[in-house]
Amino acid sequence: MSGAEIGLALSVFLACAVEAVEALTIVLAVGTTRSWSSALYGVGAAAVALAAIVVALGPALSSLPIDVLRVLVGGVLLIFGLQWLRKAILRAAGVKATHDELQTYAEETEAARSAGGLGGGFDGYSFTISFKGVLLEGLEVAFIVLTFGSNQHHIDVAAAAAGLAVLVVAAAGVAARAPLARVPENAMKFAVGVMLSSFGMFWGAEGAGAHWPAGDGALLAIIALMALAALSMTSAVRSRA
Amino acid sequence: MSRVSAFFAGAWEFVVGDDWRTALGVVAALGVTAALAGAEIAAWWVMPPAVIGLLALSIRRAVSGRRQPGVSPDG
């Protein structure tokens, strides 16, 4: 496995794990409060929809000429990654509130209790809330799997890393039987933002015709530079807050 | 709003978010890179300072926006 492929797998794993933790909180809330079977049907339906998106769009993206693919996907990945990184920096600096899984769980549980209409059979509320939660959190992962995977021509590696992250988070959720509030979500989002921005910059510039000194080796320097810049910005914002 | 325009509005919000200036800056930096590379001038050095500069400006806008009551630049 090359360095770029390890970076691909690690980025997708971290991004998927973060989103899976957030989706798990929603599924736990409706499953515990109302109906586990209906909530799990919702999870399954959303997983099928996400897989269909990846299967439908993956080959289309991979068939583009490599320079067009790199400048388009690299540019979009860079813009998308800078969004993640900006929010992670603002959260780490204390300017923006961090995601609180326990609070989200309490809110979702209260909403599920007050929704009413719980009968003995299939529960539409549990299905819908689980489906929406998993689909919305999973869309970002599907996007990362598609962009990273198509550029590396390894959508299979990206999809496997995403699947592994879901299994790890689901196993942790079953073991804990509670929201995974102690997962360092913002640190993981920070790392993902650095990786997405770095890969996006590397591929975008290559697609535009630039040649990086040291070829693929430049990627490591770019990741280090982006991490250093983001940490410096966090420190600067925190000291002024 | 038609379904097509709703789809594009959703895609824009998903990828670009609420900071279109950063997206525009990335496109401009890639354009400069392509122009230099097309003229056979070394172009790899354009993106790193451009991206770091765009991120710093985006953070500054978000922080200064938060200090003004009623302004919420970041979702």
Q: Give how far the C-alpha of residue A147 lies from the chain's centroid of Cα atoms, to the nearest Å.
A: 12
Reported as a pLDDT band with limits 50, 70 and 90, residue A103 is confident
Tell me what pLDDT residue A104 has.
Answer: 86
Number of domains in chain B: 1
CA distance B50 to A198: 12
Domain membership flag for residue B30: yes
| B45, closest residue in chain A (CA to CA) | A212
Tell me what pLDDT residue B68 has.
Answer: 59
Which residues in chain B have Cβ-Cβ distances shorter than 8 Å to A204?
26, 30, 33, 47
* Residue range A137-168, pLDDT digits in tens: 888 888 888 887 887 778 888 889 988 998 99
Out of B14, B33, B59, whose CB is closest to A237? B59
Domain membership flag for residue B66: yes
A142 Rama sector, left if φ>0, alpha if ψ -120 to 50, beta otherwise: alpha
| B54, closest residue in chain A (CA to CA) | A82
Tell me what pLDDT residue B73 has.
Answer: 40
CA distance B61 to A162: 33
Out of A75, A79, A233, whose CB is closest to B56? A233
Is B38 part of the contact surface with chain A (CB cutoff 8 Å)? yes
Is A222 part of the contact surface with chain B (CB cutoff 8 Å)? yes
Which residues in chain B have Cβ-Cβ distances shorter than 8 Å to A208?
30-31, 33-34, 37, 43
Tell me what pLDDT residue B1 has.
Answer: 63
Higher-pLDDT residue of A226 and B75 is: A226
Which of A44-48, A156-160, A206-210 shows the lowest mean pLDDT across its residues? A156-160
Tell me what pLDDT residue A49 has.
Answer: 93
What is the SS3 string spanning A104-138?
HHHHHHHHHHHCCCCCCCCCHHHHHHHHHHHHHHH
A188, pLDDT greater than 60? yes
Domain membership flag for residue B48: yes
Which residues in chain B have Cβ-Cβ distances shorter than 8 Å to A99?
none
* Residue range A68-83, pLDDT digits in tens: 888 988 999 899 899 9
Is B61 part of the contact surface with chain A (CB cutoff 8 Å)? no
pLDDT one digit per residue (tens) for chain B, 75 residues: 677 788 778 778 777 777 899 999 999 999 999 999 999 999 999 999 999 999 999 999 999 877 655 444 443
Mean predicted confidence (pLDDT) in A199-223 = 92
Residue A103, domain extent: 3-240
Out of B27, B33, B54, whose CB is closest to A82? B54
Tell me what pLDDT residue B74 has.
Answer: 43
The minimum CA-CA distance between B50 and chain A, rounded to whole Å, is 10
List Cβ neighbours of A69 (8 Å cut-off, separation of 6 or more).
A61, A62, A150, A151, A207
Which residues in chain A have Cβ-Cβ distances shorter than 8 Å to B11?
none
Which of A27-36, A94-103, A213-222, A228-237 shows the lowest mean pLDDT across its residues? A94-103
Domain membership flag for residue B73: yes
Mean predicted confidence (pLDDT) in A105-117 = 84
Domain membership flag for residue B11: no
Q: Which residues 6-25 of B are in CB contact (within 8 Å) with A?
A: 14-17, 19, 22-23
Is A231 part of the contact surface with chain B (CB cutoff 8 Å)? no
Tell me what pLDDT residue A175 has.
Answer: 85
- Whether ipTM tops 0.90, in short, is no
Instruction: Give the number of C-alpha atoms closer than 13 A to the C-alpha of residue A159, restricted to the C-beta side.
Output: 14
Residue B74, domain extent: 18-75
CA distance B26 to A142: 23
Higher-pLDDT residue of A183 and A40 is: A40
Mean predicted confidence (pLDDT) in A45-55 = 90
Cβ of A210 and B58 within 8 Å? no
Number of domains in chain A: 1
Cβ of B59 and A143 within 8 Å? no
Whether the model clears a pTM of 0.90, i.e. scores above it, the answer is: no
Domain membership flag for residue B12: no
CA distance A93 to A237: 6
Is B71 part of the contact surface with chain A (CB cutoff 8 Å)? no
Cβ of A90 and B54 within 8 Å? no
